[in-house]
Amino acid sequence: MSVFALVTIVALFAVAALVYDGAGRLRALTHAEGVAHEAARAGGQAVDAGKAIAGEGITVDRNAAVAAARTYLSHAGVSGTVRVSEDGGSLEVTVTESYRAVFLRGASGSVTGHGSADLVYKG
């Protein structure tokens, strides 16, 4: 085997490792984003029924929304933060997941996903 062939094979393996670990990190990021969006949607469905039935407008029940989003995160097996906006019109979720590289050990770390749900109708 020539030196050129050996160098080429090593370079191809290095590129394959970069692609594989990069795709794995992208998968982890996509998962974190998806879980954050779904948790926000789950929390966004926690409408304050008392105000809605009384005709006082439709707003998110802050405590129920946060609890629903945290429950979703717990069932998904990830950690994150949940915040309701000051006006009660939106819910923001941030998810952090760790990623472990297979070939490039130094490329391991964490990825962060963000999701939010806005209350479209406010009475």
More confident residue, 56 or 4: 4
Does some domain include residue 99? Answer: yes
Domain with 102 in it: 3-118
Query: Does the pTM of the predicted model rise above 0.85?
Result: no
Does some domain include residue 15? Answer: yes
pLDDT bucket at 106, cuts 50 / 70 / 90: confident
pLDDT bucket at 59, cuts 50 / 70 / 90: confident
Beta-carbon neighbour count of residue 101 at 10 Å?
Answer: 17
pLDDT bucket at 94, cuts 50 / 70 / 90: very high
Does some domain include residue 74? Answer: yes
Does some domain include residue 20? Answer: yes
Does some domain include residue 75? Answer: yes
Q: What angle do CA 41, 47, 48 make, to 5 degrees?
A: 155
Does some domain include residue 123? Answer: no
In tens, the pLDDT along 25-57 reads: 999 999 999 999 999 999 988 877 888 788 887
Q: Residue 123: pLDDT above 80?
A: no
